[in-house]
Amino acid sequence: MKEYAINKKAEYANAFKSLGVVFGDIGTSPIYTLTVVFLLLKPTAFNIIGVISLIIWTLTTVVTIKYVWLAMSLSKRGEGGTIVLMEILLRLLKPGKRVAFTLLLAYLGVSLLIGDGIITPAISILSAVEGVRFLPAFSHTLQIELAFVAAIIAIILFLFQRIGTDKVAVAFAPIMLLWFLALLISGLLYFIQAPWVIKAVNPFYAVQFLCEHGFIGFLTLSEVILCATGGEALYADMGQLKRRPITKAWCFVFVCLLFNYMGQAVYLIQHPEAKNILFGMIAHQAGFLYLPFLILSIFATVIASQAMITGIFSIVYQAINTRLMPMLRIDYTSDKIKEQIYIPVVNWFMLISVVFIIFLFQSSDKLAAAYGLAVTGAMVFAGIMMIMIFRITKHWVKFSFTVFVTLIVAIFFASTL
């Protein structure tokens, strides 16, 4: 009984830590998702409810069903990720063409995940830094100046990677808890003004929106998928903090995201002229809290970047062990969990790439299309391998759900091309 209590305590402690390691990316998606979507669309009540419905069901199908339930049921030594899917599948296949096809899927999936890991810090940090324009003294700040600030923040983040995931998680988890509570409270305050937006939970409005808008609705999907960025980090980081703690934490994160997106919907209906929706919502809601919220958002986007960096370390580590990548120096940063690592070459490569991307694109909205392509591409290749695994092992219920979700992700992927 005492051992059970200790295990439960450790599980909840790891669930808390996962807020700082795993959920940063998906947790900061509300900063830019709706803003980018309504660069294409007119902010009518019909469009807003339709888009919110799409976001809710994207989070439900792509993140909850595909990653939290299906993907995280497939592991090797408690680890997850594209390489693990490849290893599981290769053990089940006989030598032949399908082995070569599996290796191709793995290479493509890993390549896109690394691309995702490079774009995440750039778009996340840029989107938060752009919020400084809501401060009167900085309203005319040039985009290149914001890019310089974002680059400096990224450099500091990568310099801290050598201290290890566990120490980073301890420092970041309380900040992310505060961030998610801020998202929840700000969303609820607008939600209670127009609780009828709860009807967006009905998928009918998502389908109606797509049918009404045709090709424009299809293109909108390339921006809607941004709400699920970081979903792959849940699976890739499973070896760092294990499945059950991540699953428990996701229940809390999902509720916070759900109410914040619905709150943003109410704000946008009331202020259709809004250009940066989340920051505008906070500025109208409690102007005196805007600066603390802006600082918190910058910290949160740094942590979002951390989630993907940690995931990339895990993926490269697995790729080295399976001979998909050459031997690289690996520093083990924890005496307790061997999967908590630091890879210097990967760290510096990502830093140079992130800084280059920041100055190349300079604004978060210009990065959105490339981000969506990398995210959905990695999801599609992982989904194909999962379909093959569940078919061979005859898990027909999981096979059916995986086919359904992978088809949805494939539509998202097609919309980004």
pLDDT digit string (tens) for 256-312?
999 999 999 999 999 988 888 898 898 888 778 888 898 898 888 888 777 777 777
Mean pLDDT is lowest, of 90-99, 167-176, 193-202, for 167-176
Give residue 183's pLDDT: 94
Confidence of residue 112 (pLDDT cuts 50, 70, 90): confident
**Portion of the chain with pLDDT greater than 70, in percent:** 92
C-alpha to C-alpha distance for 202 and 207, rounded to whole angstroms = 10
Structure tokens at 71: 């993907």
Q: What's the pTM value of the predicted model, to 2 decimals?
A: 0.88
Asked if the model's pLDDT at residue 113 lies above 90, the reply is: no
Q: What is the average per-residue pLDDT within 337-366?
A: 80
Between 290 and 253, the higher pLDDT residue: 253
Confidence of residue 165 (pLDDT cuts 50, 70, 90): low
Domain range for residue 15? 2-416
Between 112 and 203, the higher pLDDT residue: 203
Confidence of residue 344 (pLDDT cuts 50, 70, 90): confident
pLDDT digits (tens, 9 = 90+) for 49-78: 999 999 999 999 999 999 888 888 887 777
C-alpha to C-alpha distance for 291 and 404, rounded to whole angstroms = 43
C-alpha to C-alpha distance for 285 and 190, rounded to whole angstroms = 9
Give residue 158's pLDDT: 84
| Beta carbons within 8 Å of 204's beta carbon, 6+ residues apart | 53
User: What's the CATH code of the domain at 174?
Assistant: 1.20.1740.10
Structure tokens at 20: 């700082």
277 close to 38: Cβ distance less than 8 angstroms: yes
C-alpha to C-alpha distance for 24 and 350, rounded to whole angstroms = 18
Q: What is the average per-residue pLDDT within 113-132?
A: 83
- Number of structural domains the chain divides into: 1
Give residue 205's pLDDT: 94
Give residue 4's pLDDT: 46
Give residue 8's pLDDT: 67
Asked if the model's pLDDT at residue 397 lies above 60, the reply is: yes
Asked if the model's pLDDT at residue 336 lies above 90, the reply is: no
| Beta carbons within 8 Å of 91's beta carbon, 6+ residues apart | none
B/e letters for 200-218, b = 16+ CB within 10 Å, e = fewer, are beeeebbebbbeebeeebe
Angle at 212 between CA 206 and CA 217, to 5 degrees: 65
